[in-house]
A and B are shown apart, each in its own frame.
Chain A
Amino acid sequence: MAKKDNIRNFSIIAHIDHGKSTLADRLLELTETVAKRDMTEQLLDNMDLERERGITIKAHAVKLDYKAKDGETYELNLIDTPGHVDFNYEVSRSLAACEGAVLIIDASQGVEAQTLANTYLALDHDLELVPVINKIDLPAADPDRVANEVEEVIGLPCDEAPRVSAKTGQNIEQVLESIVSLVPPPENRDSEPLRALVFDSVYDSYKGVIVYVRIMDGKIKPGDTMRMMATGAEFNVVEVGYMRPNAMEPQKELTSGEVGYITASIKTVGDARVGDTVTTAENPASEPLAGYRKVNPMVFCGVYPADGADYENLREALEKLQLNDAALSFEPETSGALGFGFRCGFLGLLHLEIIQERLEREYNLDLVTTIPSVIYKVHLTNGDVIEIDNPSHYPDPANIDFCEEPTVEAHIYAPPEYIGAIMNLCQDRRGVYVNTTHLASDRVDLHYILPLNEIIYDFFDVLKSRTRGYASFDYEMSDYQRSSIIKLDVLLNGDIIDALSFMIHSEKAYAKARRIAEKLKDNIPRQMFEIPIQMAIGGKVIARETVKAMRKDVLAKCYGGDITRKKKLLEKQKEGKKRMRHFGTVEVPQEAFMAVLKLDDE
């Protein structure tokens, strides 16, 4: 079949901080896609700009025009990928839209966990890899060693690999030449029924959802009726075109091999989910492209407004975020402790943090979040199996036969001297050792099965600190495994504080219970009356602390005749009470909730 010889579709993949965004910037600059004066740092950086600042339409994908040394002008479509395992599915879809991938390796650090993980992902999609050794300007750079390592570990020949500095711009042109010569052009399949892969979609308040697609087969133009093959939903195409860094460039049509956007007055990104296939109602394709799956949240927590009056604002904010983020789920939830809020589902902890930060920054909300939970499968004695992501739905232990928890396959890459430290950490986290692979003289791959709930809080931070930053980490979801999961309750003054309950492995319950009780004791200010803090499993108390009654809170002197000052102090005291969460006679400041959530940070 004929090729579209002048088109190259590629992604850039790399371990975090190996210079993906900087290289993308240089490519834009060199192809004069962006005038130098318009150049801002890291123009395509998904995580910072897209995910944090929200719905600005910077290119997730961008079209570059490059006049190569062979005299031909090439249309290079760069499809940027998020760099975190939470968004693995989106990475996978982006790669599926390409024929090749530029693999960046840091000239001093060499092959890291995500280098390999992304490489395997790219190979899964039959992509041609273009290795690039970056950061050769660094004093610690050792491109020869790293080139050997890539050949040894990945099996990718590196003799010809461009050695560049994205920072200084050195040898960047070689990267473009390698893309042109190594990445195969797409096939011409214009005559087939339309099949376009959605690799991203963003919400725009004027145009509705903007769907980013790679046209695999056929053509699409304004006026066509597009059909989403997973949902069957149909829309009238309003506009199609190319993405440029600072603008969208409308076209008459998009044809096979091309990368571009479609707008069709689509209301929510949920209607045009990443991974779905677009075809036309007029001439529908018989089979969708491979691999669409709905992305399901893995991590759940309660999100409550600190001020109950903000409940509606929180709902609106979540609705707006969801317009642009089909992976975010939420439903109303009520807590005896925190009032009205939402149970939210996230792809992972990073996703959770991003959403929380956006709610706080962009929507000015003060939030209290509960301890994150994964989805447990609880097998009841009557044979039913229920899925639980919220401790308050935990059934009566008498009715539980056994529980299962989700696990991940984790690969940790580090220099061999840290094997002991890493094994200790994984053991602490209830990891099951699978094997160790020596990748190179100074790099091993430790393979573990770890429970998901052991890595969702702080695993990566602890790993980093125990290996002085040398370890890298990657994981993918694995299956459910039988596990001794119990629910741990916090009681203040004898009352269960539902928002602080969480599910935990029974072996870890005692230590954790003691630490939480201590932490609460330190963070609940002394009050009129003594406050017993109890940690309990079922009805059984396994740890206790007491906040002693406050003894002294008095204005000894009345400031002569300055009664107003005293009155203001009284008002202030009453105000202070309002900011507390009240449980019977116990007042708990927000910080106490936070302290319990942050328990693992230490």
Chain B
Amino acid sequence: MKNIGLYLHIPFCKSKCPYCDFYSFSGKETEKDEYTVVLKERILSSISTLQRKGDTLYIGGGTPSVLGAKNLETLVKACKTDFLTNDAEITVECNPYGLSEDFIKTLYNCGVNRISMGLQSAVDSERRMLGRLSDRKQVENAVKTAQNVGFENITLDVMLGIPNQTEKSLNETLDFSISLGVPHISAYMLKIEENTHFYKNRHKYDFPDDDLTADLYLQMCETLENQGIMQYEISNFSKKGFESQHNLKYWHCEEYLGLGPSAHSFLNRKRFYFDRDFNSFMNGNSPIQDGLGGDFTEYAMLNLRLVDGLNENKVSERFGHNIPKELYEKSKIFIDNGYMISNENGIALTRKGFLMSNTILAEIL
């Protein structure tokens, strides 16, 4: 049986960013400790019920770092015992704001080997717009501290489509990231989700339009690849060998367990998730069933997010049939116009195609 991934959701944040619709709240110190206890119990009971090994652990949120080094250590250790493989990728999302050397050392020493930090922008006016508490200098210090402690695999989140963002300001952000020498960058085009500050105040901000955002995206892909940070997914770039193993499980339509309020799981063909409700999770409520997953459409939808796209061999290995002819036929117009490419190995979207992937997927799937 294949190893699975484990996702732990830490629903606490110091403050809510204006673009974020993930489940989080500020939380009291006692709640954080209690949550750690309950989550640890869930981890242990799930491990013993599942009888599966995991080779990725991803602690995300929210802001996991607000849980404190000690609590995070408790959770990581709980996962390592009897569950994680020795070479497992263990990622923790950290807020660069007030990240101390001691904190980073604690994570490093308990086995965390990948740190994700929200840079979003290296231009402080843009960072403030996004509600980030730290300035550019603090991010730089946090990254350098982590590197000094021994973290090689550090990823930065960068955002496109920030109000008032220009090609010039994006370049500044990219140059800054590259100068720090990180091997992985996630670059998300801002999507205004309902129930966020940005949505409610969308008319007050000057968001770059779709054309400019598309230009920024293409420019970014090129800039990063010139530095050897290669695109491997719509929004993810890395040096060879530093691809996020955990996120690849999602995109390869492989199995994972998610624990914590709002965390999603895909196990034994079933999808399920925990309610977006802290108390419900604390009370030990069962996850909510979300139907069956893993059919070809879903598999294709996810794999086509990747630069490698749909691979004939992998498809026939998993489904016992080739990529349907119909899919190639429907894709022809997109191939002819540079939105997709195909060869005997399979079919994939190009960069131009990624930008239009919703439309294309709706056409071909």
Contact = CB atoms under 8 A, between A and B. Distances in A.
B355 A563 contact: no
Contacts of A577: 362
A583 to B, nearest CB: 15
A554 B357 contact: yes
Given A560-B258, A560-B263, A555 B301 contact: no
Given A528-B359, A566-B301, A573-B358, A585 B211 contact: no
Contact of B211 (A551, A562, A564, A566): A551
Interface in A495-547: 527-529
Nearest to B294: A563
B358 A556 contact: no
Dominant secondary structure at the B interface: mixed
A563 B211 contact: no
A567 B301 contact: yes
Nearest to A576: B362
Contacts of B358: 553-555, 569-570, 573
Given A557-B235, A560-B60, A563-B266, A550 B359 contact: yes
Nearest to A565: B264
* Size class of the B contact interface (CB-based, 8 Å): 35 or more
Given A551-B214, A561-B264, A567-B298, A556 B234 contact: yes
B271 interface: yes
B213 interface: yes
A558 B250 contact: yes
B258 A561 contact: yes
A556 B214 CA distance: 12
Interface string A266-301: 000000000000000000000000000000000000
B361 interface: yes
Nearest to A527: B359
B29 to A, nearest CB: 26
B188 to A, nearest CB: 4
A36 interface: no
Name, among B189, B265, B339, the residue most crowded by chain A CB atoms within 10 Å (CB to CB): B189
B250 A560 contact: yes
Interface in B211-227: 211, 213-214, 217
B251 interface: yes
A552 interface: yes
Contact of B7 (A529, A551, A560): A560
B318 interface: no
Interface in B238-273: 250-251, 253, 256, 258, 263-266, 271, 273
Nearest to B361: A570
A559 to B, nearest CB: 8
B301 A573 contact: no
Contacts of A560: 7, 22, 60, 250, 258, 263-264
A570 B191 contact: no
A570 to B, nearest CB: 6
B356 A574 contact: no
Nearest to A577: B362
Nearest to B258: A561
Contact of B356 (A553, A557, A563): A553
Contacts of B334: 528
B305 interface: yes
A341 B361 CA distance: 32
A588 to B, nearest CB: 16
A554 B234 contact: yes
Interface string A145-178: 0000000000000000000000000000000000
Contact of A562 (B190, B264, B357, B359): B264
B266 A585 contact: no
A567 B250 CA distance: 13
Contact of A529 (B253, B265, B298, B337): B337
A553 B211 CA distance: 11
Contacts of A566: 301
Interface string B331-355: 0011001010000000000000011
Name, among B7, B190, B271, B358, the residue most crowded by chain A CB atoms within 10 Å (CB to CB): B358
B133 to A, nearest CB: 21
B362 A574 contact: yes
B250 A563 contact: yes
A83 to B, nearest CB: 45
Contacts of A552: 189, 210-211, 213-214, 217, 355-356
B291 interface: yes
A527 B358 CA distance: 12
Contacts of B235: 556-557
Contact of B362 (A557, A559, A562, A573): A573
Interface of A: 527-529, 550-564, 566-567, 569-570, 573-574, 577, 585
28 contacts: A528-B337, A528-B339, A528-B356, A528-B359, A529-B337, A552-B217, A552-B356, A553-B358, A554-B234, A554-B354, A554-B357, A556-B191, A556-B234, A560-B263, A561-B7, A561-B250, A561-B258, A561-B264, A561-B265, A561-B266, A562-B264, A563-B253, A563-B271, A563-B302, A564-B264, A567-B297, A570-B361, A570-B365
Given A551-B356, A554-B354, A556-B234, 7 more contacts: A554-B358, A556-B188, A558-B250, A558-B305, A560-B258, A561-B263, A561-B266
Top 6 nearest A-B pairs by Cβ distance? Answer: A561-B264, A551-B214, A573-B362, A556-B189, A552-B210, A556-B188
